[in-house]
Amino acid sequence: MTSSGLDLLKKKWPRPLLSAAVGLLVHPASISRELAHASSLFYASSKFSLKAYFGPQHGIRGETQDNMIEWQGFRDTQTGLPVYSLYSETRKPSPAMLADIDALAIDLQDIGSRYYTFVWSMDLCMQACSELGKSVVVLDRPNPITGSAVEGNVLSPSFSSFVGLRPLPVRHGMTMAEIALYLKDNFYPSLDLHVIEMNGWKRSSWFDQTGLPWVMPSPNMPTIETALVYPGMCLLEGTLLSEGRGTTRPFEIFGAPFINADILAASLNKLKLPGVRFRPLFFEPSFQKHAGKICGGAQIHITDRKKYRPFKTGVGVLSTIRGLYPDVPLWKNPPYEYERVKMPIDILAGTDSLRIMIDGGEALDRMEEWWQAECTTFTKQVRKKYLIYD
């Protein structure tokens, strides 16, 4: 059984920060094994004095349903503490937000994909705290799609954005604390960083093997299966295709009004991608892309999650649709996630090479050779230095 960093708060809070004034960055999945939220546990603790809450994309309560919807800070009615938004005109905490605290605690459930913005909220908090001489405490949580599988290209710094600020593979195979160690060592060496490690977590473990309760970290991440397909299917956010937002199975179903569902599913199944089958379907999104319109598309059915390659699957979907419908506009134009110049697909991919190769009809296996070479180099030369767990 796994104990999260939050479960070990009382035992492992850093001794140098006893009696410190603390801020807390949390979201809906910041919960203990007993389903107590970190905000309540921190407020009740006698080890420090809680002074403020901070919330990432979707808010500390997950109120903002859609992506790219900002929210404004407020004052918590139960505690009277300020709640600062880090998904508004401010994504990096301002000096005023950090003025009354000595340390910022971060307890965020990630899902194991570079695009997921909670990692980058942590990065910007580390940056701000480093500049102001504040400490950071990361309470670690499992990577729900295991910490052993790594896939996808490494972000190029010239394509840095809020869906990828620093070089990481798409499926990074790291925990939040491990990424924090990487960020400190390479970008914020003067930061006073503390980590509350998990107990009982193995790199090969899936979230449903940890014994911890699953709570949606964001409104369109309802299940562990959603998290597994996300490293590939989030690429559809950079297209005019529906990624299934506005349905009950976001990222597992996809399509558009112009797509013939039977032809698409048959074409995708011919790729013989590992660990997955595609079923034709029709759906009508209730919001976001193609809201209120009947879309033809497919649903991803994972048959072997150990063999399944989410990034290769997502690229396969895009290249197949590009081949079937070469005259239909595929790529979405900016703005996207605060980037107003570069193409959304390029900042998601962390390069323009993927889009260029798809448009050029490059074979899927050839594309995989390119990104796997980058991934292998990063894994061997960088990632292995920061792994905490076996």
pLDDT at position 62 is 63
Is 30 within 8 Å of 61 (Cβ atoms)?
Answer: no
Region 71-78 average pLDDT: 86
In eight-state DSSP terms, residue 83 is: E
Region 191-219 average pLDDT: 97
pLDDT at position 66 is 62
How far is Cα 42 from Cα 105, in angstroms, rounded to an integer? 10
Q: Please state, for a pLDDT cut of 90, what percent of the chain lies above it.
A: 94
| Structural domain spans, the chain | 6-219, 224-359
pLDDT at position 74 is 82
Can you tell me whether residue 32 is helix, strand or coil? coil
Q: Say if 6-219 and 224-359 have the same CATH topology.
A: no
pLDDT at position 63 is 67
Summarize pLDDT for 205-214 with one digit per residue, the tens: 999 999 999 9
Residue 360 has pLDDT above 70, yes or no: yes
- Look-up of token digits 């399944």: 308
Region 275-299 average pLDDT: 97
Summarize pLDDT for 64-73 with one digit per residue, the tens: 656 667 778 8
Is 106 within 8 Å of 136 (Cβ atoms)?
Answer: yes
Region 236-260 average pLDDT: 98
Name the CATH architecture for the domain at 224-359. Answer: Alpha-Beta Complex (3.90)
pLDDT at position 67 is 63
Residue 61 has pLDDT above 80, yes or no: no
Residue 306 has pLDDT above 80, yes or no: yes
Is 60 within 8 Å of 217 (Cβ atoms)?
Answer: no
Summarize pLDDT for 106-141 with one digit per residue, the tens: 999 999 999 999 999 999 999 999 999 999 999 999
Bigger pLDDT: 61 or 373?
A: 373
pLDDT at position 265 is 98
How far is Cα 248 from Cα 240, in angstroms, rounded to an integer? 19
pLDDT at position 65 is 58
pLDDT at position 259 is 98
pLDDT at position 72 is 85
Reported as a pLDDT band with limits 50, 70 and 90, residue 89 is confident
- Look-up of token digits 């594309």: 367
pLDDT at position 71 is 76
pLDDT at position 73 is 82
pLDDT at position 113 is 98
Place domain 6-219 in its CATH homologous superfamily.
Answer: Uncharacterised protein PF07075, DUF1343 (3.40.50.12170)
Average model confidence (pLDDT) across the chain: 96
Strand pairing category for 21-26 and 103-107: parallel
Comparing CA positions, the residue from 325, 323, 342, 326 lying closest to residue 334 is 342
Reported as a pLDDT band with limits 50, 70 and 90, residue 162 is very high
Residue 256 has pLDDT above 90, yes or no: yes
In eight-state DSSP terms, residue 277 is: E
